Structure 1
Amino acid sequence: MTGFHDVGVAVIGTGFIGTVHLWALRRLGVRVTGMLGSSAGRGAERAAALGVHHAYNSLEQLLADPAVDVVHVTSPNHAHFAQVKAILTAGKHVICEKPLAMNSAESAEMVALAEASGLVAAVCYNTRFYPLSQQACGMVAAGKLGEVRLISGHYHQDWLAKPSDWNWRLETEEGGTLRSVADIGTHWVDLTSFIGGLKPVAVLAELATFIPERQRPLGPVETFAKTGDRASETRRIETDDAGLMLLRFANGARGSVTTSQVSHGRKNAMSWEVSGSQGSASWHSEHPDHLWLGHRDEPNQILQRDPGLMNGLGAAAASLPGGHVEGFADTFFALFRAVYSDVLAGGRSAGSNYASFEDGHYEMLFCDAVITSAKESRWVEVEGQE
């Protein structure tokens, strides 16, 4: 293979995120060989609607296709483990949506399999690839903020704010024990760990389920879709609508984050602030092209995303000139560009900074600690981090 156009790619999952993956893959210029849906009929219907010429009838058929070099897994969480194992065993590179697995036992096995395979295995923590996320990472690494002292922020949404709102993530059988924390909280933890160069070593958590009963529509519902007046059944909900977490880091730094999928008006609002001994930086996903820089003895600054004004990491992640806003969908393109460069090289390169299966496994260990902390109302160490 000499270029992206030589790489054959299949996508598992035809919902919202599967569609976003497809858009980025087309922009990248790889060959999309086909899609696999939750059923043969669903896959064929969605593939036709998205202009994909082939729909696989089964995972086995997809993996038997010699034209497929890489598989993107955007299926519900409960399917990741078996699908990723089959993909790696078949000798194909894989990009898996987060969270990597349903629990840390599964993710540990996936890490071992990925390492033994020698294949490229990435987790789709795409928010690392907002150009200003990369910029901030480079600033912290260069000591521009001094020693990190405090990391704070939130990730709030409103798409599950009503009892009539429904998605497969609401049920433990498909999404896992945690919802807001696993779905969006791990995005925040991964991103701030990437920027600050520190992973939380302990957590004190409280979880809340504000809507204990919901109306489940009789039929499939795509993420963020409105259910309307469709026939439904009442379902008891045990997953978290919101989470509040205090964090400790190995260097003595502290942190705090809240997650919510029931905050009216917040469509996809992630924010973080890193405070160091020499300065601060802050960013909000609803204003993705602006990085706030805080100073004690001089005026504060706003860095507008502009490759000509950014450090090497930030400029490398940008695709458009300054003033041409890059947002959510662009992060997938930047992430996939990095991953597929390694696919062409035959393996992960030393300088690659997309999330690995090891990073995905850490997030599952973090979720384990959150669950234990919330149940027992105490600080819990994240396994292997002290």
Structure 2
Amino acid sequence: MSTISGIGAAVIGTGFIGTVHVEALRRLGVPVRGVLGSSAARGAERAAALGVSHSYGSLDELLADPAVQVVHVTSPNVAHYPQVKAILAAGKHVICEKPLAMTSAQSAEMVALARASGKVAAVCYNIRFYPLNQQARGMVAAGELGDIRLVTGQYHQDWLARPTDWNWRLEADEGGALRSVGDIGTHWVDLVSFITGQKVAAVMAELATFLPERQKPVGPVETFSAAQGATETRRVETDDAAMILLRFADGARGALTTSQVSFGKKNALDWEIAGAAGAAAWFSETPDHLWLGHRDRPNAVLQRDPGLMNATGRAAAALPGGHVEGFADSFRAFFAQVYGDVARGGRGPESTWASFEDGHHEMLFCDAVLASAREGRWVELGETR
């Protein structure tokens, strides 16, 4: 295939994030052949609402469609492992939402299967593709911040701050043993690891569940939407928030807090990276500005402008300076790179999307966080396997 417009896509999952995937694919000119919902009726209803011509009745039907070369997995976390295995076995490329799996044993197997398949297999850590995060990666690689010393930040939200707030991620058998860490925490860790070029090697963690009982609606609830109607009381043991100290592989230290119960924080990720020669910081709710810290001259703010950015940053930017690129644009940039690699037959040398190996590392991170919180000690990644 020579162009991405000749590559057919299908999307599993028709909720909030599945809709984001469909819309980003349309912007790129990738034909969306169909969607697969949680039920045949749900899939048909959502396909009609999204203007997608076909809804599949089953995963087998989707995988049998010769017009589909790439499958997007946006289903609940518990379904990622079996669905990805089936997709790779069918000889199709895959983009899987995070976290990659429910356990590191599953993600390790998925890495091996992806390697053996020869197919493009990406994890949807889209925040890498805000252009100024790519810019920051280029700056670190060029030595502009010097040796990295300290990496700090947070990822806070408020969409689960009330006992009447509900989502499938609250239940461990659907979303995994970790919630705020597995969902938004792995986003933050993947991002700063990507920017600094250093993987987290060990953690010291504390987890908190401030709302141990919640009201679960009898009917379905989409992500970020309010529940209505009858409810039932359910016990919740997954983490509302976490406080995590970090040791990175090349000697840097760090600290992260995650929260899904912080009022006023809608989707608030921030990081600050301090090096031996300078510092940088970025905040997701003002994504077109990168703060640059200096000691011997005034601090600066770099506005996202392709004319002012390095090559790594420019490659992810699509709009002129002053035209804000946000959440949806990060998916467009991410998919553009992945589909470009599908078209060329494999990952390109300059590609920066998260691989299944990256997704597996984040599962090892989750293992270490759980062990540290239970045992009250530093835990190295991979120690608990």
Matched, 1:282 2:269: no
How far apart, in 1, do the equivalents of 2:169 and 2:268 lie? 19
Alignment size in residue pairs: 384
Question: Structure 2 CA distance, aligned partners of 1:83 and 1:107?
Answer: 13
Q: What is aligned with 1:304?
A: 303
Using the alignment, how far apart are the partners of 1:252 and 1:44 within structure 2?
Answer: 52
The whole-number CA distance in structure 1 between the counterparts of 2:139 and 2:182 is: 28
- The CA deviation at 1:175 is 0.1
1:223 and 2:223 correspond? yes
Question: What is the match of residue 233 of structure 2?
Answer: 234
1:268 maps to 2:272: no
Gaps (5+ residues) in structure 2? none
Identity value in percent? 73
SS in 1 for 2:190: helix
Give the letter aligned to residue 132 of structure 1: L
The residue aligned with 1:33 is 33
2:331 match: 332
Superposition deviation, residue 252 in structure 1: 1.9
What is the deviation of 1:12?
0.2
Partner of residue 62, structure 1: 62
- What is the CA-CA distance between 1:352 and the residue it aligns to? 1.1
- 1:4 deviates by 1.4
Preserved CA contact (<8 Å) 2:35 2:55 = yes
How far apart, in 2, do the equivalents of 1:328 and 1:158 lie? Answer: 17
In the other structure, the counterpart of 1:75 is 75
Displacement of 1:350 after TM fit?
A: 2.1
Q: Distance in 2 between matches of 1:309 and 1:136?
A: 13
| Larger mean Cα displacement after TM superposition, 80-89 or 376-385 | 376-385
Matched, 1:321 2:320: yes
- What does 1:1-386 correspond to in 2, within 5 Å? 1-228=1-228, 230-383=229-382
Conserved? CA contact 2:289–2:303, under 8 Å = yes
246-255 vs 256-265, which deviates more? 246-255
Alpha-carbon distance in structure 2 between the residues aligned to 1:235 and 1:219:
14
Decide whether the 8 Å contact of 2:9 with 2:70 is kept in 1.
yes
CA distance in 1, matches of 2:119, 2:144: 35
In 2, the alpha carbon distance for the partners of 1:243 and 1:338 equals 33
Question: CA shift at 1:3, angstroms?
Answer: 1.2
> Hey, what's the Cα distance between the residues in 1 that align with 2:88 and 2:368?
28
Report the alpha carbon displacement of residue 253 of structure 1 after superposing the two structures with TM. 1.2
- The DSSP-based 3-state class of the residue aligned with 2:354 is coil
Provide TM-score, normalisation by structure 2.
0.99
Distance 1:2 1:349 in 2: 14
Q: In structure 2, how many angstroms separate the alpha carbons of the residues matched to 1:113 and 1:290? A: 39
Q: CA deviation at 1:349?
A: 1.7
Please list the CA deviations of residues 226-260 of structure 1 after superposition, one character each: whole Å capped at 9, or x if unmatched. 113x1010000010000000001122210000000
Which letter maps to 1:36? L
Tell me how far apart the structure 2 counterparts of residues 137 and 280 of structure 1 sit (CA, whole Å).
12
Aligned residue identity for 1:351: E
Return the offset for 1:384: 7.5
TM, length-normalised to structure 1: 0.99
After superposition, give the CA deviation of every residue in 1:280-314 in whole Å (9 maximum; x if it has no partner).
00000010000000000000000000000000000
Q: Deviation per CA, 1:107-145, whole angstroms, max 9, x where unpaired? A: 000000000000000000000000000000000000000
| Structure 1 residue 195, shift from structure 2 partner | 0.4
Letter in 2 for 1:262: V
Listed one character per residue, the Cα deviations across residues 136-164 of structure 1 (whole Å, up to 9, x for unaligned) are 00000000000000000000000000000
Whole-angstrom CA distance in 2 between matches of 1:224 and 1:331:
19
d(CA) in 1 for partners of 2:142 and 2:161?
41
Instruction: Assess if the C-alpha contact under 8 Å between 2:107 and 2:363 holds in 1.
Output: yes
Q: Which secondary structure state, in structure 1, belongs to the residue aligned with residue 369 of structure 2? A: helix
Per-residue CA deviation, residues 49-73 of structure 1 (Å, 9 max, x unaligned), is: 1100100000000000000000000
Distance 1:73 1:18 in 2: 8
Q: CA–CA distance in 1 between the matches of 2:126 and 2:204?
A: 26
AA at the equivalent of 1:329: A
3-state SS of paired residue (2:233): strand
1:223 and 1:103, CA in 2 relative to 1: closer, same or farther beyond 3 A? same
Unaligned runs of 5+ in 1: none
Q: After the TM superposition, which parts of structure 1 deviate over 2 Å for at least 4 consecutive aligned residues?
A: none
Distance 2:45 2:52 in 1: 10
Q: Give the Cα separation in 1 of the matches to 2:5 and 2:130.
A: 24
